[in-house]
Amino acid sequence: MTAVTPPPGHVSALPGVEALAKMIDHSLLHPTLTTTQVEEGCALAARYQVASVCARPCDVPRAARLLAGTGVEVGTVVGFPHGSTTTAVKVAEANVAVDQGARELDMVLAIGWLRSGDLPAVEADIRAVVEAVPGLVVKVILENAYLTDEEKIAGCQAVERAGAAFAKTSTGFAPSGATVADVRLMRATLGQGVQVKAAGGIRTLDQLLELHAAGATRFGATATEAIISELARRS
């Protein structure tokens, strides 16, 4: 029997609240967040049982302490938000984060190198971080707002060759964030062994569901409570 491809914008049956929560990385990355706001964000993540908290590097020890035993992973960022630090610095950031309790890393690839077509350097930069933290989840941010479709494809291919677990759309700090078109392109480019994370501007349940239908399986969001509460209301 021939499979039927859903039309653009199609959203299948609503996922369960618990299943959707485990697709969300609750983002605590804004530079102005206070310690109290970080603590409140970790409490919210534990209450809703999301996949992880993505905390600023300086907050990893605090997040690891607050989330110990909750089932919520601690993640952080590497080379954030521009991807322009040296590979050695990215590896050092990754090692420190892991030592302090992080179990997932969202690294920004070398955007300028990708735009220059230096794919071996981009791939080597990613691979160095992946190999520094064996067994941990590494998500590689392309920052699609700055890339052509050809560059997005090349970036995804570098991510896959380097052995990362996810290719990610955006940091949330560029001019634009996740789009359905980008997620579809990334999903079509990547093999089944690499997942797609959408982030940047995801503020409603409908946005998340549309991106999920396009192929994303993990989502970075600050509007976690509103999204999950809306799903619970509809369910």
- Provide the angle, in degrees to the nearest 10, between the axes of the packed helices 35-48 and 60-67: 40
How many C-beta atoms lie closer than 10 Å to residue 79's C-beta? 25
Q: What's the pLDDT at 2?
A: 31
pLDDT in tens, the chain (235 residues): 233 334 444 445 789 999 999 999 999 999 999 999 999 999 999 999 999 999 999 999 999 999 999 999 999 999 999 999 999 999 999 999 999 999 999 999 999 999 999 999 999 999 999 999 999 999 999 999 999 999 999 999 999 999 999 999 999 999 999 999 999 999 999 999 999 999 999 999 999 999 999 999 999 999 999 999 999 999 8
What does the alpha-carbon distance between residue 130 and residue 139 come to, in Å, rounded to a whole number? Answer: 9
Q: What's the pLDDT at 235?
A: 86
Domain boundaries, the chain: 17-234
Could you give the residue numbers annotated as active site?
106, 168, 197
Q: Which residues contact 170 (CB under 8 A, 6 or more apart)?
A: 141, 142, 143, 144, 145, 176, 177, 178, 198, 199, 200, 201
Determine the topology of domain 17-234 in CATH: TIM Barrel (3.20.20)
Q: What's the pLDDT at 12?
A: 53
Write out the two tokens for 109. Answer: 């690839």
- Provide the angle, in degrees to the nearest 10, between the axes of the packed helices 149-162 and 119-132: 40
